Chains A and B, each alone.
Chain A
Amino acid sequence: MRTHVKYKLPDDSDKQLTVRKLADQFAIKKEPTVDEKFTIYDTFDWRLYNKSLVLYGTGHRLFLRKLAKDEMMNSVEISSRPVFMWDFPDGELKNQLAPIIKMRALLKLVELHSRSVPHRILNQNEKTVARLAHEEIRLSTNKNAPALATYLWLKPVKGYPKYLRNLAKRIEEAGLTICKEEDIYFKALEAVDKKPGDYSAKVNIQLDPDMRADEATKIILRFLLHVMRINEAYIEKDLDTEFLHDFRVAIRRTRSALGQIKYVFPTETTNRFKENFAFVGKLSNDLRDLDVYLLNEATYKAMLSPILQDDIDPLFDYLRKKRSTALHNVMRGLKTKKYAKILKDWEVFLNEPHQGSETAVNAELPVIDLARKRIYKKYRDVVKTGNRILDNAEDEMLHVLRIECKKLRYLMEFFCSLFLRKKINILIEQLKKLQDNLGDFNDLCIQQEYLLKITKELPASHQQTKKTLVAIGSLIGTLDRERQQIKDAFANTFTDFASPTNQKLFRELFSSQAQEGDA
């Protein structure tokens, strides 16, 4: 047995009593008190919490552990507050965290102050055979503030199991209980009014199959509006790029819902809001594009031969400058009366009771029926378009298919609570693979065009600019080769998606005929 044991001390107990009692039987040496500050970090969307991980810093080190476990998984020395993965020193911790955190910024969740009094248990040779530590954890350094938790730690020293067993027995006899599952993480967050996992951009709503379709749609849309509102507040702070991204995805989903969940609202209302959200989406197109290029900086550089790698820097410096203007423009747009009115009207509409309308023919339909109909229709559209591309692969058709897939995906995500989670998730995974292929292809097309366009904006006279242009040219070449590879991979990816197995699953889940057959 080598793991540390943590005992919970009752809040009102005499703090040192247990240690004093033990001193009757063991030689105990008290060591100087240790004061430490711990800062717990996570991303805004709780990426670490969702993986049951806790990242915390103390002194110049960062530690990673599992939630509800006290053993360390990894640690690393740091020189400044950790924010982005690319600022982390290379090593295991970075390798472990980078795929989880990606481009998100780490935010300080809470600061804890621990005051612990270590004791060493000694044998006849005055050799340490076990350690005890009495720890109090508070939100501030004030000794008189109430402690969030008080623990007695029993820490083994390798090779002295008998002492450990003996001590554990005595401690338990003194009435202390082991706390295994308790994690200070939860107590600390609760104390600062934060709820782990309370934000996720994923559509997470529970619909009732027999619900009216217009009501269900409003639930979906209210959720999306909530996501918009949360992220909107952070865009100006510019902590990372994903607040804007989540904000934009919520807008896109809203537009898609308005277009795809057909005839649940009066046509005039649907059209008006579709237009409104197209306008809101456009406000930040430039900024998002620039974010994507800048996030890809390292990837682009890696595509260039080493002699050109530094020459591309002026391009990114230029893009960074453009980005700060773009951010300014977005903020101006989000502060206009027009924007405020659009969102206000939308909110009012989503919260008002349903009104009968001749054009809202699907409004009263049970949502499950409408969901099946729409998803199955979109699925068949995707397959049809995809098959046409197999015959004749035009870039434009791939673009059309990409949009159709996106619509299908959004529909499936809106309504996933109505279907067997396991089955619909399989199909979403399959669709995701196809979307990745199409998305990569589209990104590369746009990037090539953009780079070509940007060359006209760079000042032409400088010697440095000429070098930069050479680097951009080389980059475009590489992107083009990659684009071709992705295009070549399309046929296989699509055939996998449109496979008979998937077709059967789609039919089972969504086709109205299949449902009637079952009945």
Chain B
Amino acid sequence: MTTLAIYSNKGGVGKTTTAVNLSYLAAQTGAKTLICDLDPQSSATYYFRVKPKLKSGAKGFIKGGKPVYKSVKGTDYENLDLLPAEFSLRNLDVTFDKMKRSKMRLKKILYPFKCEYNFIILDCPVTIGILAENIFNAVDYTLVPLIPTTLSVRTHRQLLSFCKKKKYDVEKIYTFFSMVDRHKKMHLELMQRVVREFNGVLKSLIPYLAQIEKMGIYREPVAVSSPGSVASKSYQNLWDKVQNTILYPDKGKSERSNR
């Protein structure tokens, strides 16, 4: 069982679309997959056409066990289940903070799913507080979508120094380029700089595409709504890189740069 967080401490970078598309592709390989929507905006839940509702609300979620287990819904796709989010999850940071072992709460909540699923993907909200630490403690790897802009790169530096300070293993944090506009000279230049500066940059990028934005209309992964499209191929390529580099690095040649 592997747990992967799609995380960023910056908003609007394509976390949810990535989580939705990767979890779909994972399930397509036959792996029992669970996508956990942790974002109170519940966008991933919306994409899968599921009601943003948890059994006993945020309280039930925090308590863990049966209420969480019973909140899980099957999606339209074989092997893929969803743990929905709801608006009341907005206070997770504060609530966890007040509890004992405040940084291990999420790990405990997700524990019962470990036996049932081969693969768990977390769609995370923007956070760099207690919830972020809960995420780092709960997952095997973290995947950060990175838009090649100055501010994004700056935020990523902040994340890495935060993790180093808090003694989280930065080797387990991977990034890939998201919402890339190849016509912008700055995007291209920054990408080259990023590959030189950071470790664990996957050689895969998701372009800025209308197809991906339209996911909100179709409410389906791009591989379903527009199979064979550039968007669909880009996510397939990203998933291949995730498998070869992060999940099963021994099977293929390691693609991790600068290591």
Contacts and interface: CB of A to CB of B under 8 A. Distances in A.
Nearest to A130: B74
B85 to A, nearest CB: 14
B49 A159 contact: no
B27 to A, nearest CB: 13
Given A75-B30, A128-B74, A128-B76, 9 more contacts: A120-B76, A127-B49, A127-B50, A157-B73, A158-B72, A158-B81, A159-B50, A159-B71, A159-B81
Contacts of A157: 73-75
Contacts of A156: 74
Interface string B50-81: 11000000000000000000111111100001
Contacts of B75: 128, 157
Interface in B96-137: none
B33 to A, nearest CB: 12
A158 B74 contact: yes
A126 B46 CA distance: 12
A157 B76 CA distance: 8
B86 to A, nearest CB: 14
B73 A125 contact: no
Interface string A147-176: 000000000111110000000000000000
Contacts of A128: 74-76
8 contacts: A120-B76, A126-B49, A127-B48, A127-B49, A156-B74, A158-B74, A159-B72, A159-B81
Contacts of A126: 49
Interface of B: 30, 48-51, 70-76, 81
A159 B45 CA distance: 14
Contacts of B81: 158-159
Contacts of B76: 120, 127-128
Nearest to B83: A159
A30 to B, nearest CB: 15
A120 to B, nearest CB: 7
A158 B73 CA distance: 5
A159 B76 CA distance: 12
A120 B75 CA distance: 12
A461 B139 CA distance: 62
Contacts of B49: 125-127
**Most chain A CB atoms below 10 A, which of B49, B50, B72:** B49
A161 to B, nearest CB: 10
Contacts of B50: 125, 127, 159
Nearest to B81: A158
Interface in A117-162: 120, 125-128, 156-160
Contacts of B73: 157-160
**Most chain B CB atoms below 10 A, which of A126, A158, A159:** A159
A128 B70 CA distance: 18
A2 to B, nearest CB: 9
| List of 4 A-B pairs having minimum Cβ-Cβ separation, nearest first | A159-B73, A158-B74, A127-B49, A157-B74
A260 B52 CA distance: 79
Interface string A306-336: 0000000000000000000000000000000
A126 B75 CA distance: 11
A127 B46 CA distance: 10
A263 B174 CA distance: 83
Nearest to B84: A159
Nearest to A127: B49
A156 B73 CA distance: 11
A158 B72 CA distance: 7
Interface string A43-78: 000000000000000000100000000000001000
A77 to B, nearest CB: 8
A126 B48 CA distance: 10
A211 B70 CA distance: 66
A125 B52 CA distance: 12
Contacts of A61: 30
A126 B51 CA distance: 12
A293 B51 CA distance: 64
A160 to B, nearest CB: 7
Contacts of A125: 49-51
A127 B49 CA distance: 5
A424 B56 CA distance: 61
